[in-house]
Amino acid sequence: QKEVEQDPGPLSVPEGAIVSLNCTYSNSAFQYFMWYRQYSRKGPELLMYTYSSGNKEDGRFTAQVDKSSKYISLFIRDSQPSDSATYLCAMSAGGAQKLVFGQGTRLTINP
C-alpha cells in the first residue's frame, strides 16, 4: 500500500462546477500538506499549503486537512477551462523533509 493514495481519474466536469479532489494517507507523522497543479510537460506549481489540520482558502481554492481521518481535500469553485491540469497532493513530516506525492488526478473542465 502506498503512503499516499489519490484517485487518478480522469475527472471531467462542466465549466462553473465545484470540483472536489482528495487524498488519503497512512503516515501519521505527516504535518505539512500541499496541493500542486501540473500542466502537461511542465513542472508542478504550488497551489495551496497547509500546516496540520484545518481549512485554508485562497480565491476559488479551499484546502482542508482532517488529520484524525488522514484525509485531505481540495475544492475548486467556479471551475474554469484553464483549471484543466493534473492535481497532485503532497505531504511531508517536517518543514525541510522530502515530499511524498499522490499519483495525481487528471482534471478536465469542459467549456
Cell numbers 499522490: residue: 102
Give the nearer residue to another protein in terms of CB position, either 62 or 103: 103
How far is C-alpha 81 from the geometric centre of its chain's CA atoms?
A: 18
Minimum CB separation from another protein for residue 89, in Å?
Answer: 8
Give the nearer residue to another protein in terms of CB position, either 48 or 109: 48
Closest C-alpha to 25, from 76, 104, 100, 87 = 100
Give the nearer residue to another protein in terms of CB position, either 52 or 77: 52
Angle CA 64–67–72, to nearest 5: 35
Would you tell me which residues interact with another protein (CB under 8 A)?
A: 4, 6, 8, 32, 36, 41-46, 49, 51, 88, 90, 95-104
How far is C-alpha 5 from the geometric centre of its chain's CA atoms?
A: 11
